[in-house]
Chain A
Amino acid sequence: MSTTTTSTAPAARGAGHGTPGPRYVGGLIGFLIGYAVSHLLLRLFQGWGGVDPSYTVVEAAGIGAGLGPIIVGLMGGVPGLVAGLFGRRVILGSNIFAAWLWAVVGFLITTLIVIGVRLAFGMDPISLLPIVTFGSLGAYLGMTIGIGALGPWLRFLAGGDVDLAGDHSQHGAKSWKDYFGFNTDHKVIGIQYIVFNFMAMAIGGMYALFMRAELAQSGMQFMDGSTYNGAFTVHGSVMLFFWIIPIFAGIGNYVIPLMVGAADMAFPRLNGLSFWTLVAAFLTSVAAILVGMYEAGWTAYAPLSTQSEIGLQQLLFALTVQFVGASSIMTAVNFIVTIVGMRAPGMTMWRMPLFVWANLTTSFLVVLGTPFIGGAQLMVLTDLTMNTQFFNPILGGDPLAYQHVFWFYSHPAVYIMMLPGFGIVSDVITTHARKTIFGYKALAISTVAIGFLGFAVWAHHMFTSGMPDWFRVVMMFLTMLIAVPTGVKVLSWTATLWQGRIHMRTPMLFVLGFLFMFTVGGVTGIMLAAVPFTIHVHDSYFVVAHFHYVLFGGSTMTAFAGIYHWYPKITGRMYDERLGKMHFWGLFITQNLVFFPMHWTGVQGMVRRYADHPERFDTINMVMSIGAIVMAAVTLIFFYNMVNSWRRGPKATGNPWNSHTLEWQVSSPPPLFNFYDVPRVLDEPYPFGAAEPVHGVVAEKGKRTADHPILAGSGAGTSQEQQG
């Protein structure tokens, strides 16, 4: 594999910059030039357009409009620094520095186009919101060109002679630097996602700690209402868009091609692009935080989110949502085509591991649902930039239109956040209880059923909104029905434990913890389905308790289970089991400590999204805040374990858990293209306890699948059916 210009620091030294001294001077000069140009450009635009300083966070700090040019100057200075330090080859190559440069250039070019068009139509040339909107698209395009994602495609589309499928130049990672660039290897992309997601989780968690610091006592100690609103909005948005939804994209990206016996995803380049689109979304979100934190909640209801005072932040939020949605949809398309079209011979639908079933269903939810949040936020975007009146009742609009469109996605979204986790549970519980899954078909079908039903119940988030009364009854009934397939799953998993041989390793602990936490969250969900009760507790801490139990105690626990379970496969090392257990128990105890009391405070009338609370809630809030701090400390143990074990942990075999799905039949980590020959699947995915358990056969290096002893000998595996 030819290396890209990512790891070119050594090469650049040979490119004419010899000793360090002149390089650093070159870097400094480059930085100053880049800084000066960008800084002055923004000052020029600000002067021309009379930019309102209230859009910058600095106004709150009393500094005035000066920080904007400084920040923009820094953005322009970094490419200059890199150019000076590492030379032309780096800054004009395909790597993150080039991506940065081209993003800035892209932003500039689209800004000039916008200004030009506005001048041509006789409008005021400098208007911040349109510039930011189109500028973000230009920056995105520039970034994707600079990172190397679009090169081959553009050449192809311009009529060049390019072999897209056969070009493996961007495939696989030879050094750590490759993880910071564009790659087409699903294993590399999976790791990029996972590491990125944990970083986002830490950031989201930090904002939660801000909130808990303020809530520990009544009265306002650290921040004002606006800042608090920003804190919970950032907490929620970052956790949902950059942690829990994409972590399953990351784990799925790594595991699915291996599980179905494929060499990679169906569209490897699209796969890489979807990761970098998520990064672009994150940077857009950071930009929003820099200008003052978006503060209308992750739900961003209109007409609050269309108020012009918070317009720039909400615009950046709307743009973030578009990028996140695009990334999600790209991944989902990839998953669907891979699962439908790339399964190894012999892997019928009923022989797929349940993790694959889960991701297939989830991907359909993503494809069908995500455009609805894109659309809702697009309407907010046009309300802010073009003064459309979708939600303005004075001019015929309807604020509830936003809620219906938004929740039509955001309810299936919670299944997007949970179904892959359900798949992980099935795979982990069978392996570590050494028992085949109880009710495979029921679990597969209930997954699809939940997916379907999930689209029919969105308005249970709107019981108090003022929509027609009869509609609430329909929604209540359908919502309660979802408990049935979900109950089937929980009971099936619990029954899988029965007469198994349970190994209490860390992945299993997380699954057990999940079973408890998710059941609690599930039954409070049934309670919330009862309209009269929700009329009392809607927008109270009871709801906060419910969704943290299902999202943290549910989804996040399964994500951790998957990380620990597949850690040996991904890293080639074993994690430290003791630290893993400490992590689990610490999380389990603190989760209940922090979130269970919220059921009580909610019923008592403590309102959600309140920066302050009545004094009678002081003690319990202090307890919860202390619990949150301990939770954060425990998570540090996890990070330490992950990093330390990757570097120094004992090497892992290909199949440390003695499991049967295809990913465990190759080395840890897997070969560059996963398999040496197309695997052949012979039987069910979890044949634990069978007389001669086999799921599929995989060729060793230098051999063919057909030569495998099981195939060459007696033919298909002999598992006996038995009713338990």
Chain B
Amino acid sequence: MTATPVTHDPADVHHDDHDHPPPSHSSSRHPWGIIGIYTFIISEIALFGSFFMAYFIIRVIGAVDYAEWQEAFAQAIPLEIALINTAILLSSSIWIWFAERGFKQGNKRALVFWLSMTILFGSVFLGIQIYEYAELVTHKDIGPSSNAFSSVFFMITGLHGSHVLVGLILLGMLLVRAVKGRYELGTHPPQGFMASVIYWHFVDVVWIVVLTTLYLL
């Protein structure tokens, strides 16, 4: 929920004040948890940024001629599967938006259903990613240790994949709490719920950047 505004219960100050804090007050119209999750996401963007920076240097500025490696690299990475996976992941953002809407409308079944769909689609995305890795390593003989470009590919997609996994775990926890009826439906979702939703959208946006940088460019 948004931070409680200054509620002045005169009775508060007459107790022994060692037992509880003064009324909370917010100097921002945004809930603290939301400011917090956005700040955290900035740090995550920076983490991905460090790998993209390394990729930029290796590919554009580095002493080695990229063209020599590009053909082999491009041949090995299947673009079609990546595009299908993109559709799967991006659609999960729509499902979670439905879930959020279900929460606000007080519809527990919709909330649970769409949360489950989001988790399902996210898991399928991960599964396909892992399958793609296995294909690369076993059949095309390209792994993280093959060359600098494959290292970048595996690390960036791997970093993204681990973020998807964390997102799935968070969503799973939301689902458990939803099923157990811990939420006051029909109102604006609490900060923890919204933070996870925002995180999931972030994961999707990062995928678009990963797709563009690694697969398309």
Contacts and interface: CB of A to CB of B under 8 A. Distances in A.
**A and B, direct touch (CB closer than 8 Å):** yes
Interface of A: 157-159, 161, 168, 261-264, 266-267, 329, 332-334, 336-337, 340-345, 347, 367-372, 374-376, 378-379, 382, 386-390, 392-393, 395-398, 400-402, 404-405, 408-409, 467-468, 671-678, 699, 701-704
Interface stretch (B34-42, B74-82, B206-214): B34-42
A396 B64 contact: yes
B35 A340 contact: yes
21 contacts: A157-B173, A266-B32, A267-B32, A267-B36, A329-B40, A334-B36, A341-B3, A342-B26, A372-B50, A382-B151, A388-B151, A389-B146, A390-B152, A393-B62, A393-B63, A404-B53, A405-B53, A409-B50, A677-B13, A678-B23, A678-B25
Contact of A374 (B50, B64, B145): B50
B53 A264 contact: no
A368 B145 contact: no
Contact of A372 (B49, B144, B146, B152): B49
Q: Top 10 closest A-B pairs, CB basis?
A: A375-B50, A397-B148, A387-B145, A398-B62, A388-B151, A371-B47, A396-B148, A263-B21, A673-B21, A371-B46
A329 B43 contact: yes
A108 B47 CA distance: 29
A375 B43 contact: no
Contacts of B69: 396
A389 B151 contact: yes
Contact of B50 (A168, A267, A405, A677): A405
Contacts of A409: 50
B6 interface: yes
B20 A168 contact: yes
A326 to B, nearest CB: 10
Contact of A673 (B20, B28, B42): B20
A159 B22 contact: no
A159 B180 contact: yes
A263 B24 contact: yes
B97 interface: no
B51 interface: yes
Given A333-B39, A367-B42, A159 B176 contact: yes
A386 B145 contact: yes
Nearest to A672: B18
A222 to B, nearest CB: 39
Contacts of B152: 390
B29 to A, nearest CB: 9
Question: Which of B8, B22, B49, B145: most chain A CB closer than 10 A?
Answer: B22
Interface string B48-81: 0111011001100111101011000000000000
Given A375-B54, A400-B57, A702 B14 contact: yes
A379 B43 CA distance: 17
A367 B150 CA distance: 28
Contacts of A378: 155
Contacts of B155: 378-379, 382, 388, 390
A398 B17 CA distance: 61
A273 to B, nearest CB: 13
A269 to B, nearest CB: 12
B53 A333 contact: no
Given A371-B49, A388-B154, A405-B54, A382 B43 contact: no
A673 B18 CA distance: 7
A699 B68 CA distance: 72
Nearest to A680: B25
A333 B20 contact: no
B30 interface: yes
B3 A398 contact: no
A704 B23 CA distance: 11
Contacts of A467: 61
A345 B49 CA distance: 38
A390 B148 CA distance: 5
Contacts of B13: 676-677, 699, 702-704
Contacts of B61: 398, 400, 467-468
Given A343-B27, A395-B146, A405-B50, 19 more contacts: A157-B177, A159-B173, A332-B43, A336-B35, A342-B24, A367-B39, A367-B42, A369-B46, A375-B50, A388-B145, A388-B154, A396-B149, A402-B54, A405-B53, A467-B61, A673-B17, A673-B20, A674-B21, A702-B14
Contacts of B18: 671-673
A398 B58 contact: yes
A387 B155 CA distance: 12
Contact of B57 (A329, A341, A401, A704): A401
Q: Which size bracket describes the interface of B in this complex?
A: 35 or more
B44 interface: yes
B159 to A, nearest CB: 8
B147 interface: yes
Contact of A396 (B144, B147, B173): B147
B53 A398 contact: no
Question: Which of B27, B61, B177: most chain A CB closer than 10 A?
Answer: B27
A675 B22 contact: yes
Contact of B151 (A336, A372, A390): A390
A397 B151 contact: yes
A336 to B, nearest CB: 5
Nearest to A348: B27
A398 B46 contact: no
Nearest to B149: A396
B17 A375 contact: no
Contacts of B36: 266-267, 333-334, 336-337
A355 B180 CA distance: 45
A398 B151 CA distance: 12
Contacts of B44: 371
A275 B10 CA distance: 36
Contact of B17 (A261, A266, A379, A671): A671
A262 B26 CA distance: 9
A470 B62 CA distance: 15
Contacts of A701: 17
Given A263-B22, A405-B53, A671-B18, A158 B62 contact: no
Nearest to B25: A678
Contacts of A329: 40, 43
A378 B43 CA distance: 15
A397 B148 CA distance: 5
A332 B150 CA distance: 34
Contacts of A674: 21-22
A379 B148 CA distance: 11
Contacts of A672: 18
A711 B171 CA distance: 48
B182 interface: yes
A482 B42 CA distance: 24
A337 B3 CA distance: 12
Interface string B114-152: 000000000000000000000000000000111111111
A375 B156 CA distance: 11
Contacts of B180: 159
Nearest to A678: B25
A333 B58 CA distance: 32
Nearest to B8: A704
Contacts of B53: 372, 401, 404-405, 408
Nearest to B29: A341
A699 B8 CA distance: 14
B46 A370 contact: yes
A332 B42 CA distance: 12
Contact of A389 (B32, B145, B177, B179): B145
A163 to B, nearest CB: 12
A398 B30 contact: no
Nearest to A408: B53
A375 B47 contact: yes
B173 A398 contact: no
Interface string B161-186: 00000000000010011011010000
B176 A379 contact: no
Nearest to A369: B46
A334 B32 CA distance: 9
A369 B49 CA distance: 10
